[in-house]
Structure 1
Amino acid sequence: MFIAWTTVAERADADRLATGAVARGLAACVQIDGPVVSHYRWQGQLEQAQELRLMFKCPASRLSQLEAYVLSEHPYDTPEWLAVPVERVGEKYLSWANASSTTPPL
């Protein structure tokens, strides 16, 4: 299982990405946190922005598809995308996540 993160500026974008990932069976769950304050350098300037953080939980078998979906639908030119493997997962949760992360019937 993997946990992956991205950030967006608008709640509508956060909801759209979260709903789309779950509806497509790419993530078992997406949590939206925030606002968080991000400090970064962009085009040579120091920036500060309020953003919402999305945390995607997905099986390893869906990570590449989830990444492609998020990056293609993301409103930023250079979106944050971080994914890390989960070292330990409760057996029941993992079973639920795998069952929930399948391509739904059309």
Structure 2
Amino acid sequence: MTIKLVLCTAPDETTAQLIARALVEEKLAACVNIIKGIESVYEWQGKIESDRECQLLIKTNTQNVLQAFDRVSELHPYDVPEWLELNAEASSAYGHWLQTTLQR
């Protein structure tokens, strides 16, 4: 079964927790993993930056991915939050759990 796996960074654990809880409580994601302590190197406004961040792994479905993006955009402090949508193949059991969990 195909699901959406979204990569999104957050500047700190507090923001990551806020986003993760909102998405799961509002049934926009079935699960969000928070990986603490990554380092991101990127260009922003003509300057090379390096920051410690948290990586969010957001598991959702095609039906909810746009609403999830809108919600993250509301909660996120960055001007341009990372939002990378990947199609991922899930096991039948995990895919069923995800779809059942996201039913409103």
Would the TM-score normalized by the shorter structure come out above 0.5? yes
Task: Name the counterpart of 2:90.
Answer: 89
Q: CA deviation at 1:5?
A: 1.1
Tell me the distance in 2 between the aligned counterparts of 1:36 and 1:61.
Answer: 29
Aligned residues: 102
For residue 53 of structure 1, report the CA deviation from its aligned partner.
Answer: 0.4
SS of match in other structure, 2:64: helix
Superposition misfits of 4+ residues, deviation over 2 angstroms:
none
**Greater strand fraction, Structure 1 or Structure 2:** 2
CA RMSD of aligned residues (A): 0.9
Q: Which runs of 5+ in 2 are unaligned?
A: none
Alignment deviations for residues 32-84 of structure 1 (CA, whole Å, 9 cap, x no partner): 00210000111111110000000100011111111111112111111111111
Structure 1: gaps of 5 or more residues:
none
Where 1:60 maps in the other structure, the secondary structure is: coil
TM-score by length of 1: 0.92
Superposition deviation, residue 102 in structure 1: 2.5
Give me the whole-angstrom Cα distance separating, in 2, the residues matched to 1:46 and 1:2: 30
Counterparts of 1:19-30 in structure 2, within 5 Å, are: 19-30=21-32
Contact 2:19/2:76 (CA < 8 Å) preserved in 1? yes
Partner of 1:70: 72
